[in-house]
Amino acid sequence: MAEPPHDRTTQRPDRSPTARLEMTGINVAFGGVTALDDVSLLVEPGQVHGLIGPNGAGKTTMFNVACGLVRPTSGRIVWRGDELRRLRPAQLSKLGIARTLQGVGLFPGMTVLENVMVGAHRHAKAGFFSALFAIPTADKDEERLRRRALDALAELEATEYAGRYPGSLPYPVQKRVALARALVADPELLLLDEPASGLSEDEMHELGELIRTVSSRMSVLLVEHHMDLVMRVCDRITVLDSGRLIAVGTPEEIRADPVVTEAYLGDDVDVDADAAQLASGTEGAHRG
Amino acid sequence: MSDLQTPAGAPGAASDDAPSTATAAANASSAGAGGRSFLPKSTLLRHLLVLALCAVLAVLLLEGTERSTNDQISRIAFYAIAAGGLTLLTGLNGQISLGHGALMAVGAYTTALMLDVDGDPLPLAVIFLVAVAVTAVVGAIVGVAAARLHGPYLAGATLALAVGVPGLTLYFSDTLGGEQGINVRAPRAPDWFVEGIEALSGERGQGTKWLAYIAVACLLISYFLLANLMRSRIGRTWRAVRDQEVAAELAGISLGSWRVLAFVVSAAAAGLAGGVLAIVVRLTAPGSFLPVLSLSLLTAIVIGGLGSLFGALLGSVLLVLLPEWARDFGLEVLDMESAQASQAAFVIYGLLLVATMLFAPAGLVGTVRLALLRRRAARAMSRAGGG
């Protein structure tokens, strides 16, 4: 993964990211329970933005709002200067936003290569009738998508698995394939939902480098439990607690912020502490 | 987190997952599966080559068998056309339909009505195209409703179609002929065909033989088109919708419209199948389109292997031939009365279905493909482990 990105000059112009995501005053209530209370989030172009908080803080809900899976009761989402109203997940890809799922969410009945090719859906040109009559342009289009998908797999060092089915692959490899499927769409904003879960230290380190690499061509919004990864790769961090925004800042500022420390960074945070905190209910959050 | 992580290349997590997750998938083989270097790279050329080969085989088969077998082949053909469309819908797109018999009825009645005119009817190809178009429109309407339904609800809704449509023919009995149905004037064989067959095998190429050729030609053309779709991006997108809705949506796929598209294509195939049925059976009556027809089609694609055209064809062959074999077996070996033997055919059919579900849940084609997949996975594992 440390390799430089492949030569893609034929496929995309070497651009620097220009699009910014602004979410302001987002409120979400499930039934009577407030999941998000007036939360705002700003992802600048080319930024790696971390979204953190203890379990149940509303990170994933915020994420789901950003991609149309959850509709906020109020609030504005502005992307590239346009307000997104009634956002639906299927529109995301056209808007240049890609997202990975917390699980891996691969298509079990398709090979790794096909999985990634589906990710390139928005770049497909050949339509129904050229496919129906197998007109050569459809073949050419397929070849283009295949090349694109192989490039994405190569960037994630997963080329050797192209012909395998996801179910037969180890979990970390599946995660890499899922990431390739998001990257192949060539998005301007990449939403990563707990990309490091289930990865070893080494793999997490590689993931961090990869995120830094791709941030040269897209913005990244990251929900993650692993503090070391978040602190290492993020330019800016937003901290949620119990559905409210409690801090925004650089990793250094967040690390030094007493409010955050109290809410979240109690001890030396790791997943075990998180799990213990979850098990012992809310008191755990104030333990430190 | 340590219990979650599996080092890349370690054999642990990867052994048996592939078969369990790939049951439906195994049938819809992937384009990039490899090992086809002896065939042309272009999809069109490859499929045309297979088409030509199948056409030659079909001619040999039709000329090498007698009249009654020709008739059986015609019946296999229209079942197979409908089953091919259904396997695309159910196997590739994951939507179940218990109403394809009704869609066949739409195609059959359209064909029958267009042939039942004073003077010369339109060319058969045009009539079939109209039948396909009409059925596709009906399929689109059903598909829009179906796209919002899942599993048992979808099965129920489409079953209602299968139950309702035959009743419709009774309601409009003036135009649709009621219980007796419409006698279909089978088209006559053109002179070039009669002469050609006479030159080829010395037989008279009329009646049953002409119809068998039409049926097989329709089968080959429809399978050619369906195979094109399945191997293309369209097929891949359908499979994505089937496998993981959220991930598919995030890739920019609008679930609803792709589901409707699958329904339309599938209905079009059913419409053509109905048209062929009308001329082969020479009668279009509600009795031919009872819900059991829809169930038979579903049985055929499950036994053959969901998502595979070859499986659909195989299932249709069994659908037509098995009852007859079973009857002969009952008559001759078990010395049954003919009525008993006909009943025994159902029993044997049912037993076969149960046995398939127990021992080869992926169907005939799927089981073979799964075995190949498993071997490939095992080889890959041993390579990873050993090297």
- The C-alpha atoms of residue B324 and residue B22 are separated, in whole angstroms, by 34
- The C-alpha atoms of residue B346 and residue B341 are separated, in whole angstroms, by 9
Q: What is the pLDDT of residue B28?
A: 42
Task: Quote the minimal CA–CA distance from A87 to chain B in Å.
Answer: 12
Q: Report yes or no: B363 and B312 within 8 Å, Cβ to Cβ.
A: no
Contacts of A124 in chain B (CB under 8 A): 233
Q: Is B252 near chain A, with CB under 8 Å?
A: yes
Q: What is the pLDDT of residue A264?
A: 66
Q: Quick one: CA torsion of A143, A145, A147, A149, rounded to 10 degrees?
A: -150
List, for chain A, all residue ranges whose pLDDT scores fall below the cut of 50.
1-14, 267-269, 282-288
Residues A48-59: pLDDT tens digits?
999 998 888 888
- A131, B249: Cβ pair inside 8 Å? no
Residue of B nearest to A135 (CA): B44
ipTM of the complex: 0.82
Q: What is the pLDDT of residue A279?
A: 61
Q: What angle do CA B113, B119, B121 make, to 5 degrees?
A: 45
Task: Quote the minimal CA–CA distance from B21 to chain A in Å.
Answer: 6
Across the beta sheet with A97-99, the strand order is A97-99, A189-193, A219-223, A48-52, A236-241, A244-249
- The C-alpha atoms of residue A87 and residue A100 are separated, in whole angstroms, by 17
Of B13, B251, B373, the CB nearest to A93: B251
- The C-alpha atoms of residue B6 and residue A228 are separated, in whole angstroms, by 21
> For residue A172, which of B9, B385, B374, B246 has the smallest C-alpha distance?
B9
Task: Quote the minimal CA–CA distance from B360 to chain A in Å.
Answer: 18
Q: What is the pLDDT of residue B174?
A: 86
Q: Is A202 near chain B, with CB under 8 Å?
A: no
Q: Show the DSSP H helices in B116-254 as ranges.
A: 124-146, 151-171, 173-176, 191-201, 208-231, 233-243, 245-250
Q: What is the pLDDT of residue B16?
A: 37
Q: Is B42 near chain A, with CB under 8 Å?
A: yes
Residue of A nearest to B22 (CA): A109
- A132, B250: Cβ pair inside 8 Å? no
Element (H, E) at A82: strand A82-83
Q: What is the pLDDT of residue B35?
A: 46
Q: What is the pLDDT of residue A265?
A: 52
Instruction: State the helix-helix crossing angle for B338-359 and B291-304, rounded to 10 degrees.
Output: 50
Q: Is A136 near chain B, with CB under 8 Å?
A: yes
Q: What is the pLDDT of residue B189?
A: 87
Q: What is the pLDDT of residue B275?
A: 97
Q: What is the pLDDT of residue A12?
A: 43
Q: What is the pLDDT of residue A268?
A: 47
List, for chain B, all residue ranges whose pLDDT scores fall below the cut of 70.
1-37, 384-387
- B240, A107: Cβ pair inside 8 Å? yes
**DSSP symbols for B48-67:** HHHHHHHHHHHHHHHHHS-H
Is pTM beyond 0.90 here?
no
In the numeric block, which tokens belong to residue B201?
């095998």
- B8, A172: Cβ pair inside 8 Å? yes
Of B8, B32, B242, the CB nearest to A173: B8
Q: Are strands A21-30 and A33-43 parallel, antiparallel or unpaired?
A: antiparallel
Residue A238's SS3 state is strand
